[in-house]
Amino acid sequence: MSRSDNDFQTGFNMILKTFQRYANSGNGGCANRLERSEMKKLLEEQFKGYLERSKDASVDDLFDKFDEDNSDSVDFVEFLNIVAKLAADADILSQIK
Ligand SMILES: [Ca+2]
Ligand SMILES: [Ca+2]
């Protein structure tokens, strides 16, 4: 198997590990879900450039937008929706080489 055959799996594993690291970083709450404070930390550390360019989108707004079932936490499926929507942002796409 050539290196490129594993690119998706490698990238997906990184997304999953990043999600798990932040989802498990807070005090209390669920280890498999991002509570609001964990989500805030993840966005500020991992999507800093995006937040700086998106003055309309506060972290709280983004959290409410992506917590689709209003459970006050973001699960992995909801998180993947965030990643997909951020990736669809033209600014982000133009930075991917
Ligand atoms: Ca959590
Ligand atoms: Ca939720």
DSSP codes of every residue in 50-88? HHHH-TT--HHHHHHHH-TT--SEE-HHHHHHHHHHHHH
Ligand nearest to the CA of 29: 1
Distance from residue 7's CA to the centre of ligand 1 (Å):
28
**The model scores a pTM over 0.85:** no
Say how many domains are in the chain: 1
Distance from residue 33's CA to the centre of ligand 1 (Å):
5
Query: What pLDDT is stored for residue 30 in this prediction?
Result: 92
The range of the structural domain enclosing residue 61 comes to 3-95
Handedness of CA 25, 28, 34, 37 (dihedral sign): negative
Ligand nearest to the CA of 26: 1
Query: What pLDDT is stored for residue 26 in this prediction?
Result: 85
Instruction: Determine the 3-state secondary structure of 95 from DSSP.
Output: helix
At 68-88, the pLDDT tens digits run 999 999 999 999 987 887 777
Task: Identify the segments of the chain with pLDDT beneath 50.
Answer: 97
Q: What is the CATH number of the domain that holds 64?
A: 1.10.238.10
Distance from residue 4's CA to the centre of ligand 1 (Å):
33
Q: How many CA atoms lie within 13 A of 62 on its CB side?
A: 26
